[in-house]
Amino acid sequence: MSALMNDQNELGRGYESALREILLDVDQTSVMHWQRSYSSLDSYLASVRDNRARWSEVLAVPSSWQSDEEMEILPQDGPDEKIRVRMRPGLIVDAYFRPPAAPVPPPFPLVLFLHGIGGSAEMVMGRSDTVPPSYHGIGRHLAQEGFSVLAPTLLNTFSSRNRIHRMALLLASSVWGLEVKAIRVLLDQAIRRLPIDPERIAVWGHSMGGAYTLYTLPLEERCKAGVISAWFNRRPAKMVVQDPHYSCFLFTEEEHAFLPSLLTGFSDSDLVSLICPRPLLIQTGEQDSISWPPLVEQEFRQAQLHYQKLGLEEKIRWDRHDGGHEINVSSGVKFLKKWM
């Protein structure tokens, strides 16, 4: 029995070593899948068009998925309105909408704020927070600075996300594809029904919400700027390399993090190349256990290169702040005020 177990262990290690070697060869993967041209902005956008279409396929919903897409606005006590969007029979996505607290005439600039694991739309709006704090009442701060805020409810536990992810995989989809679809439908309805300016929409996400920001912006060109907090990473290492400096998904229960085809040419910096030339701020906390700043810096330099080659370096910034797994309110608000 022990000899059989040794054979099995050796076989498993062999597969793991082979796959890790391929996953970490990001330069070869990029050469295989990208042919970017930087001669002009139009040429650049044309050169990544097929990659954008391929990313859309990665985030596909089941082919038989049909949406009702009906929206209801429910007044609440206080400054917020509750939004309910019926995606299809039996599936309702809720969100909160807050208009600016500052005296701003409509239509309002909008920040679509996406919460993370353990977070909620209520936390975004400042009704509560994680321990230690992650959101710092960001919805309130944005409203005070003249922005309207739309915060949807996303699946926020490992177990719920893993369960939906497993079911979606059977239909060549994923929990990510389903929720990106929900985010985009919510945005469709918000533009039609709420007093927001469709030309001044930004998306900001924390942790898992930062992933949704990174995943949605390449497809949702109505969003003119983005802020990614506590997510951006050297993705192959984050997924499969155990290291004392950061947590690795391969050694956690987060099955949902493994989006099929993600590392077939869609590293974090590759996805940023589909966000370019729109303004993008990346926030990393020095004390955040999900990442290690030296690795994040490597990935950021790769992302920054696309903007530099187009003469647009001022549109991408990295905020390496002193905090932990949290947003940095001041740098994020300042960035959005500059570009919105």
**CATH code for the structural domain at 35-339:** 3.40.50.1820
Quick: pLDDT tens for 236-270. 999 999 999 999 999 999 999 999 999 999 999 99
pLDDT at 30: 80
22-33: pLDDT as tens digits: 999 977 888 889
What mean pLDDT is predicted for residues 58-71?
A: 88
DSSP letter (8 states) at residue 290: T
Torsion (CA) 12, 17, 19, 25 in degrees, nearest 10: 170
The per-residue DSSP string of 199-266 comes to: EEEEEEEETHHHHHHHHHTTT-TT--EEEEES----HHHHHH--BTTB--GGGSS-GGG--TTTTTT-
- Does residue 1 register a pLDDT over 70? no
pLDDT exceeds cutoff 70 at 293: yes
Average pLDDT, the chain: 96
Q: Average pLDDT of 92-106?
A: 93
Where are the domains positioned within the chain? 1-33, 35-339
pLDDT of residue 190: 96
pLDDT at 102 over 80: no
- Strand, coil or helix: what is 332? helix
Judge contact between 196 and 107, C-beta under 8 A. Answer: yes
User: Tell me, what amino acid is at 125?
Assistant: M
Among residues 52, 85, 57, which one has the least CA distance to residue 71?
A: 85
**Is the pLDDT reported for residue 5 higher than 80?**
no
* pLDDT for 70: 86
pLDDT (average), residues 211-223: 98
Instruction: Evaluate if residue 152 carries a pLDDT over 70.
Output: yes
Mean pLDDT calculated for residue range 149-154: 99
pLDDT of amino acid 26: 77
273 neighbors 306 (Cβ within 8 angstroms): yes
Q: How far apart are CA 196 and CA 199, in angstroms?
A: 9
